[in-house]
Amino acid sequence: MQKTQQTALVTGASQGIGEVIAVHLARAGFAVALLARSEAKLVGVRSRWPELGDALILSADVRQSDQIERAAALLEERFGHLDVLVNNAGGSFQAPARQLSPNGFLQVVAINLVGPFVVSRTFLPLLEKRGGSIVNIGSTAGRDMAPNMVAYGASKAGLVNMTRSLAAEWGPTVRVNCVAPGPILTPAARQVLYEDDPGRIAAAAETRSVGRLGTPEDVAEAVLWMARASYVNGSVLYVDGGPDVRSVTQAGR
Ligand code: NAP
């Protein structure tokens, strides 16, 4: 790595949106670190994309502060500092609220809200070295509603509030923003959400006012912009294909 090269860490980089964000940042010239729990999947990502070069692989759980501290030590050893942190790792499962146990609720909040806090706080000294930027990956579920995923919606709503608080606390040295996707057609979403059914995918696309579902590249482009936008702090950028056309009256369209 050259001394002047910008560095980035992407959590949840072993598949889906995080994988593409990492590749996008590498193409933009960043030296990249990939973090997720499965080391084997991260190694697979690195070998799939030549542009990732010798990307640093960090196997860690965002909920475990000791594992994240170890990851920060490894990143400091390799890069010396961090310019961009993308808190992308996240997850949920479907369950009606009346059947969701308090522990199930806590698990979802731990991944989507506590995780980004633990990672941001742990990597803050490395971000402060040259003045860095954090991009949290939210969701329109945190703005709108999340029936059958109440903990997910609540955690993503909390992430927006945390974004603004940290932006206020850590600026001007470190900016903190949020990119909030709507429905994005990742390989996992295609299988799990739409059961690989072209009819279901087309129906979902029709709800978007731009007439299609999002791609991981749409999110990655917004993340790169947020990471560089030096007069943007504490903001949320929705990458959701515009308003849901089902909320528009027939007369209005
Ligand atoms: P995904 O395919 O399920 O991938 C999740 C990633 O996070 C994986 O790399 C996973 O790797 C990692 N991860 C999960 N739990 C972790 C933990 N405890 N510690 C460290 N890494 C962990 O998800 P995606 O669809 O790409 O979504 C990425 C982000 O975008 C999430 O924050 C999600 O909420 C948000 N989002 C997605 C959509 C969508 O339509 N796909 C829409 C709005 C927002 P390991 O299992 O190996 O740890």
**Closest atom of ligand 1 to CA, residue 62:** 19
* pLDDT of residue 161 exceeding 80: yes
User: Which residues, other chains included, contact 94 with Cβ-Cβ below 8 Å and sequence gap of 6+?
Assistant: 148, 149
Contact 215, 78 (CB under 8 A): no
- Domain of residue 55: give its range: 7-184+215-251
Judge whether residue 44 has pLDDT over 70: yes
> Is residue 65 included in any domain, yes or no?
yes
In a domain, 1, yes or no: no
pLDDT at 4: 82
Q: What pLDDT, on a 0 to 100 scale, did the predictor assign at position 249?
A: 56
Q: What whole-number distance in Å separates Cα of residue 12 and Cα of residue 79? A: 20
Q: Residue 252 — pLDDT band, cuts 50, 70, 90?
A: low
CB of 157 within 8 A of CB of 178?
A: no
Query: Would residue 190 count as lying in a domain?
Result: no
Label residue 248 by pLDDT band (50, 70, 90). low
Q: What atom of ligand 1 comes closest to residue 36's alpha carbon?
A: 21
Pocket lined around ligand 1, Cβ cut-off 6 Å:
11-18, 36-38, 41, 61-63, 88-91, 111, 115, 137, 139, 181, 183-184, 186, 188-189
Among this protein's residues, is 194 annotated catalytic? no
Q: Whose CA is nearest to atom 9 of ligand 1?
A: 12
Give tens-digit pLDDT for 108-130: 999 999 999 999 999 999 999 99
Q: Give the pLDDT band (50/70/90) at residue 64.
A: very high
Ligand 1 centroid to Cα of residue 87, in Å, is: 10
pLDDT of residue 192: 86
Say whether pLDDT at 201 is over 80.
yes
Instruction: Band the pLDDT of 251: cuts 50, 70, 90.
Output: low
Starting from the edge strand earliest in sequence, which strands make up the sheet with 31-36, in order?
Answer: 56-59, 31-36, 7-11, 84-87, 133-137, 175-181, 236-239
The reply to whether 139 falls in a domain is: yes
Output the domain CATH number for residue 60.
3.40.50.720
Does the structure show a pLDDT above 80 at 88?
A: yes
Instruction: Count up the domains in the chain and report the number.
Output: 1
Q: What mean pLDDT comes out for the span 118-147? A: 98
Structural domain includes residue 189: no
Task: Collapse the DSSP code of 236 into the 3-class scheme (helix H, G, I; strand E, B; otherwise coil) and give the result.
Answer: strand
**Domain annotation covers residue 197:** no
In a domain, 235, yes or no: yes
Mean pLDDT of the chain: 96
Asked if residue 91 belongs to a domain, the reply is yes
For residue 238, is pLDDT > 70? yes
Distance 61 CA to ligand 1 centre (A): 12
User: In angstroms, what is the span from residue 183 Cα to ligand 1's centroid?
Assistant: 13
Res. 78: pLDDT tops 60? yes
